[in-house]
Structure 1
Amino acid sequence: MRNLLREWQGELKRVFTGSPDVLPGWVPRLAEGNDAGYHLPGSAVWAVHGSMTPIVAGIRALLMQALHPAALAGILEHSDFREDPLRRLARTIQWIFTVTYGSKADADEASARVRRLHEPVHGSYSDGRGSERRYSANDPEAARWVHLAFVDAFLTAHKIWGGTIPGGPDAYVREWAQAGLLMGVQDPPLTEADMRRQLDRWYNSGELLADSRVAETVEFIRNPPLHPLLRPGYRIIFAAAVYSLEPKYRRMLGLRTPRIGPLPLPVRLATRVTLGVVHLALGRGPGPSEQAARQRLRRLGHTPL
């Protein structure tokens, strides 16, 4: 039993870091750098990203991003997410945590690196009206949809399963707008209300599309190639992502909250328990990225920490 638990913990760490026992090299480098960074202890971004709720939010963001045919075409035609989804997840985590906890110089470079990787990602797709259109991963409007889906997912998941947000939801939207700017988003939303208005404009425009490619992508996200020990917990986390979606997006994606007959299953409670177990397995207290950031801030003389 003890060996089984250790194996489960190792596989869980592998999902988030790429290794069951060794931190990726970029984490200790967050202690380097000569500026405080875009986000500091006590910020809304640190509160949200330092919790367990991003585990749900990441899946929710993928589901939402799949509804934009340009964003989905870029993923399906230019990424290895089907062959190696954990590698893509690790790259995404690296960017999020570098912008969250790293110096401004490191956050700028990490974002520029992602944009360089996006340069060859372009092609064509059929929009919701059947017209052929061109896409580019670095297109500001494509980047806007990805940013909106991210902010909506991380904020919503934290409001359901997380603690308080310093400054409230608007503070998170305003602070993470910096990440949008780094990725080429023009005038990202600065309040929750503005973020929701922009999402509604996308929905009402008819540009979002739910076709067979979306259905295949949703099915892959529902059943990724995870270690058998992780699958029961993942089913709960996936159900949580579905539960957190607005009903109109749920319908577009062909998803429903889990039920037994007419009775809804207790997704909120099951998710809270699952996130608590994951937290115990990964270790209580600040994560290694936050610890590295605090080392840098202490070295630079920033207080309080």
Structure 2
Amino acid sequence: MLWRQVEAGGTGFEAGDPGLFTPDSVTWQVHGDPMMWVAGIRALYLQALHPRAVRGVMQNSDFRRDAWGRLMRTANFVGTTTYGTTEAAEKAGARVRKIHSMLGATDPATGERHGVDEPDLLLWVHCAEIDSYLHVARRSGFPLTDEQADRYLSEHRVSARLVGLDPEAVPANQAEMAAYFEKVRPELAATTEAREVDDFLLRPPTHPLLVPAREVLWRRVAQLAYAALPPYAHELYGRKAPEPTTVTRQLRATGTLLRCVPARLRWQLPPKHILRAMARLGPGSRPAPYKLGR
């Protein structure tokens, strides 16, 4: 697929494959924001509250030994599907579906065996992730109207398809997403596996010399991500969070600080998908919040 768009001032996208989302999408702009890292941690907290979903993770991977690798693989998947070529995104989705098709988990209480690729589990993981990205972005000051927020959720029927979901069964706007969470809430619980995820996110293993930095930097980020969870998640984990207005102020302050770091510098961090997309499509494809108003 070849594509070209000319922006005001004569800067255009060069010929190339724009991928599944394209630089015109809300997703393209949102996923370039530095608050996505806070949102990703919020997603892990939320995903861990589904007993069957978190059981599949804990029984099929050594989460504590390879947690950083798991986080980077998730970041790489999101970056590839957002900013990569159509072929790269489809291949990434095919790999995920193949791996999931071979994995299962066992309920220790009943002995029941289930696949990790059951639609209800995939849907929970998808919704917890996409809702976290949208929630943290907006609450931290990323400028999105309700219409654009709905567009973002609708666009992610594409990423849902990549992991094996029927796009028509995936919430496509804020009202549908809220209804989904209301429906699934009775199934959620802070199980032993969820507690293990919580403990890891607060105290991830690190080199002894880096423990002070972990306590000063990482713990604050993890606590902010936890605070951004919905109230029912705080109730399940049994740990209070600051008042919502305080959390919003903290998210806005953090977002303002991180956005002061030059984007080119931030995007040098692995896996560099944005820089590769700009090299492929030209400088006009650069993610930027102001483009949403066009």
| Residue aligning to 1:199 | 181
1:231 positional shift: 3.2
Runs of 4+ in structure 1 over 4 Å off: 263-275, 281-287, 301-305
User: Which position in structure 1 is the counterpart of 2:57?
Assistant: 75
Q: 2-side partners of 1:218 and 1:285: how far apart?
A: 27
What amino acid is the match of 1:111? G
For structure 1, which runs of at least 5 residues remain unmatched after alignment?
1-32
Q: Which of 214, 225, 230 is the equivalent residue of 1:241? A: 225
CA distance in 1 between partners of 2:75 and 2:285 (Å): 25
Q: How far does residue 62 in structure 1 lie from its aligned partner after superposition?
A: 0.6
Shift of 1:211: 2.4
Tell me the equivalent position of 2:261.
280
Over the matched positions of the two proteins, sequence identity in percent amounts to 31
Contact 1:237-1:271 at 8 Å conserved across structures = no
Q: Which runs of 5+ in 2 are unaligned?
A: 1-14
Any conservation in 2 of the 1:242–1:256 contact (CA below 8 Å)? no
Flag the 1:145–1:265 CA change in 2: closer, same or farther, 3 A.
closer
Q: Which residue, out of 192, 195, 198, partners 1:215? A: 195
Report the CA distance between 1:272 and its aligned residue. Answer: 4.5
Q: Looking at both structures, which has the greater relative contact order when contacts are Cα pairs under 8 Å and sequence separation is at least 6?
A: 2
* 2:21–2:28 CA contact under 8 A, matched in 1: yes
Distance 1:163 1:302, change over 3 A: closer
The equivalent position to 2:273 in structure 1, one of 289, 298, 303, is: 289
Return closer, same or farther for 1:282/1:83 CA change in 2, 3 Å cut-off. farther
Matched, 1:145 2:124: yes
Measure, in 2, the Cα distance between the counterparts of 1:156 and 1:72: 22
Preserved CA contact (<8 Å) 1:173 1:189:
yes
Q: Please point out which of 252, 257, 263 is paired with 2:236.
A: 252
TM-score for both structures, normalised by structure 2: 0.79
- Distance in structure 2 (CA, Å) of the matches to 1:302 and 1:283: 13
What amino acid sits opposite 2:117 in the alignment?
A: N
Quote the Cα distance in structure 1 between the aligned partners of 2:245 and 2:177.
Answer: 30
Alpha-carbon shift at residue 135 of structure 1 (Å):
2.2
* Separation (CA, whole Å) in 2 of partners of 1:230 and 1:281: 24
1:274 shift after superposition: 4.5
Deviation at 1:212, TM superposition (A): 2.6
Map residues 1-305 of structure 1 onto 2, 5 A cutoff: 35-125=17-107, 133-165=112-144, 167-186=147-166, 187-203=169-185, 206-226=186-206, 227-228=210-211, 229-258=213-242, 266-275=246-255, 276-277=257-258, 280=261, 284=265, 288-298=272-282
Letter in 1 for 2:104: H
- The one-letter amino acid of 2:157's match is A
Q: Aligned partner of 1:208: which letter?
A: L
**In 2, Cα distance between the equivalents of 1:142 and 1:264?**
29
Q: State the alpha-carbon separation in 1 of the partners of residues 286 and 76 from structure 2.
A: 26
Determine the C-alpha separation between the residues in 1 that align with 2:196 and 2:76: 27
CA contact (8 A) 1:240 1:267 kept: yes
The two structures have a TM-score, normalised by structure 1, of 0.76
Instruction: After TM superposition, give the deviation of residue 151 of structure 1 in Å.
Output: 1.2
- How many aligned residue pairs are there? 263
Write the letter of the residue equivalent to 2:18: A
What CA distance in whole angstroms lies between the structure 2 residues aligned with 1:51 and 1:254? Answer: 30
1:273 deviation in Å?
4.6
Q: What SS does structure 2 have at the residue aligned with 1:50? A: coil
